[in-house]
């Protein structure tokens, strides 16, 4: 493997579905080394789901790579399911999966919303976390959610107009309510256009340079519906965490080896949040990628994330 690249594509050697309650079933998979050091990948969104490339941040000769789709996302069912779907539920799901796979401790790796969940999980169960790699920091504050809904218009006005134009003009003062109404409408002719508008807005703002491939992927029906419905649900409820909770509870994870990776020009999760986290948590290494936006697939972000997982090979 070249130092600057992802590892070669691999397939899972084990996968399954875990019944979480009478409604939700969670897809999971394991790849890499069956006797290797466990590491779990937490996808973004919330609601975005995981994909094959997400296995490639980790050396498959060294790591036992656990990937799963969070409640309502990706291959988990029901797609876009909102009932019993909160941050505490997701933390409990991780513990259920860890126990199901017979893992005592694992490295935790997450970006964007995955960074939120990684921090929340580690603070709830620090004894289960060997190391943390978090990228594109999002802490779930009202200011961050407001930036997503309105602030990105300052940098991407044309993309924001596409997002806002999916809503009648007289409802644009409260985009959250307007989108929730449409995303949760049972008629696909109503919820699918809204889902695509929401998801493609995020995708179009996620890279430093325009990436039609990224936008197209965000516009795919299943991805758009899972991402938009669950993301709006979490945003409406301030991601089911008390304001500033993750900053207040940093003492619980100060002794865990950690790396924060942040793109300088991340417009979805601006780096002032990562900077604040770094200042409050100086024990974590902080890597600012000078030529990157938000996406984990930005070349500089990719290199920094692989470097972090390589570095933590020696952590038990």
Q: Which residues are catalytic?
A: 112, 266, 294
Local structure of 106: helix, strand or coil: strand
What is the SS3 string spanning 238-301? Answer: HHHCCCCHHHHCHHHHCCCCEEEEEECCCCCCCHHHHHHHHHHCCCCEEEEECCCCCCCCCHHH
CB contact at 8 A, 96 and 20:
yes
Find tokens 């920094």 and name the residue. Answer: 304
CB contact at 8 A, 137 and 277:
yes
Cα distance between residue 98 and residue 6, in whole Å: 25
CB contact at 8 A, 141 and 239:
no
Cα distance between residue 178 and residue 186, in whole Å: 15
78 alpha carbon, distance to own chain's centre: 19
Quickly list H helices, 82-211.
87-100, 113-124, 142-149, 157-165, 175-183, 188-204
What is the SS3 string spanning 20-78? Answer: CCCCCEEEEEEEECCCCEEEEEECCCCCCCCCHHHHHHCCCCCEEEEEECCCCCCCCEC
First to last CA, the chain: 23
């Amino acid at each position: 493997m070249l130092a600057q690249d992802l590892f070669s594509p691999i397939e899972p050697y084990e996968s399954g579905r875990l019944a979480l309650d009478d409604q939700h079933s969670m897809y999971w998979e394991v790849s890499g080394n069956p006797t290797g050091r466990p590491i779990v990948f937490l996808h973004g969104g919330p609601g975005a789901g995981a994909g094959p490339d997400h296995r490639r941040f980790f050396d498959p000769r060294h790591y036992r790579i656990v990937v799963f789709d969070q409640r309502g996302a990706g291959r988990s069912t029901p797609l876009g399911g909102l009932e019993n779907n909160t941050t505490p539920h997701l933390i409990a799901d991780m513990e259920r999966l860890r126990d199901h796979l017979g893992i005592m401790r694992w490295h935790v790796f997450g970006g964007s919303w995955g960074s939120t969940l990684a921090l929340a999980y580690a603070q709830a169960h620090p004894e289960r976390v060997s190391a943390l790699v978090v990228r594109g920091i999002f802490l779930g504050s009202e200011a961050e959610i407001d930036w997503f809904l309105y602030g990105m218009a300052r940098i991407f006005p044309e993309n924001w107009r596409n997002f806002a134009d999916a809503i009648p003009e007289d409802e644009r003062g409260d985009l959250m309510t307007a989108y929730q109404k449409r995303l949760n409408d049972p008629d696909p002719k109503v919820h699918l256009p809204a889902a695509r508008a929401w998801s493609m807005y995020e995708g179009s703002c996620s890279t430093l340079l325009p990436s039609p491939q990224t936008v197209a992927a965000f516009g795919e029906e299943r991805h758009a519906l899972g991402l938009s419905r669950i993301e709006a649900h979490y945003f409406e409820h301030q991601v089911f965490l008390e304001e500033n909770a993750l900053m207040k509870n940093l003492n619980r994870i100060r002794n865990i080896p950690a790396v924060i990776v942040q793109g300088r020009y991340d417009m979805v999760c601006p780096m002032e949040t990562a900077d604040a986290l770094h200042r409050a948590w100086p024990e974590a290494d902080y890597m600012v990628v000078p030529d990157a936006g938000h996406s984990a697939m930005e070349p500089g972000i990719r290199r920094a994330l692989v470097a972090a997982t390589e570095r933590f090979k020696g952590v038990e």
